[in-house]
Amino acid sequence: MHEFIGLLMIFIGTTWAGYGLYLIMLYSNLILIPGQELIKALHGPVFVGIGTVIAILGSIELREILPGKNR
């Protein structure tokens, strides 16, 4: 079960981080257009941050199930 949870967390985390990078690139071009809201540009870094944290937690979850670990 830990393998599934860890792999799912890594998949969701990297998907969110990729979506955040897409938003950063999209809004960096839209900021050049006058009248665009700057608050929309903050969505990208939020997705990248949350996605990175979820991916790291997933890798920690996978590391916990390594065989031969002293418990």
The tens digit of pLDDT for each residue in 5-62 reads 888 999 999 999 999 889 888 888 877 777 666 777 777 888 888 999 999 999 888 8
Task: Round to whole Å and give the CA distance between 42 and 17.
Answer: 14
More confident residue, 3 or 66: 3
C-alpha span between 67 and 23 (Å, rounded): 39
- Which pLDDT belongs to residue 61? 84
Strands (DSSP E) contained in the chain are: none
The predicted structure's pLDDT at residue 25: 86
Q: Name the pTM for this structure.
A: 0.73
